[in-house]
Amino acid sequence: NQVRVYSSNRNTSGFVPDKKGISGAITQGAGFVDFEGHGYALGWNTIWFDGSYENGDWVGGIGLDNFWRIRNGEKQPVVIVGGCHNALYNVSLLPAMIDKDGSEYFCHGLPGPVCFSWGLVIKPFGGAIASTGCTGYGMGYEGNPVSLSGELESNFFYQIGQGSTNLAQAHSRAIQKFIAEEEIGQIEAFCITNWALLGDPSLMLGGYSS
């Protein structure tokens, strides 16, 4: 069953993409989780369905400091993260704190031991079994959410539906599909090289027979 953690669930009984809703949904257990929104090295967020960036109508999202809320034990999903800098894997504590303006490590002076995507994978007692994310800016064309970085992320799930059996196949075939269908310029090439897979690429999708 698909669990929708949407900002449009506000004023309903459904999950919304804040720290409580995201952690609660993942704690229930999932095979795959797809974050589509905005990020920085230590967190992910999105705006309300009827909000605007100009007014700062952010839902809240979730960051490393709230990963303790995720208590899914061995029910660990593959997590696809759409957002900027969520897989900036060269982040570390002191450089992140010194970089007050967020121009190098995109942590804005906050202490960041690891990036968001990798933090999910190494989280004790739960988290993700593998993740993806952008090592730099996530890109997309205005008015088209399934473009550039978003298209690669969508392609990942398409390739699973087409029979990819492990992480490496799903990731690499998502890129191959993107190359086959799009004219590759500087921005497209950036999105491809910017999209990281974190975890064991030989991981079989669908589980292992006991």
pLDDT tens digits, the chain, 210 residues: what are they? 899 999 999 999 999 999 999 999 999 999 999 999 999 999 999 999 999 999 999 999 999 999 999 999 999 999 999 999 999 999 989 888 888 888 888 888 888 899 999 999 999 999 999 999 999 999 999 999 999 999 999 999 999 999 999 999 999 999 999 999 999 999 999 999 999 999 999 999 988 887
Q: How many residues does the chain have?
A: 210
Tell me if 115 is assigned to some domain. yes
What is the predicted pLDDT for the residue at 99?
86
| Range of the structural domain that residue 181 is part of | 139-198
The verdict on 180 and 191 lying in the same domain is yes
Q: Are 24 and 46 in contact (CB under 8 A)?
A: no
What is the predicted pLDDT for the residue at 207?
81
CB-based burial, 181-198: b 16+ in 10 Å, e otherwise: eeeeeeebebbbebbbbb
Residue that has been written with the tokens 């990036």 in this structure: 115
What is the predicted pLDDT for the residue at 109?
84
Half-sphere exposure of 68 (CA within 13 A, CB side): 2
Tell me if 101 is assigned to some domain. yes
| Domain end position, chosen among 137, 169, 187 | 137
CA distance 185 to 188: 5
Tell me if 210 is assigned to some domain. no
What is the predicted pLDDT for the residue at 152?
99
Q: Are 185 and 154 in contact (CB under 8 A)?
A: no
| Domain end position, chosen among 137, 168, 187 | 137
DSSP one-letter string for 8-56: GGTTSSS--SSHHHHHHHHHT--SEEEEESEEETTEEE-B-TT--TTTT
What is the predicted pLDDT for the residue at 52?
94
What is the predicted pLDDT for the residue at 101?
86
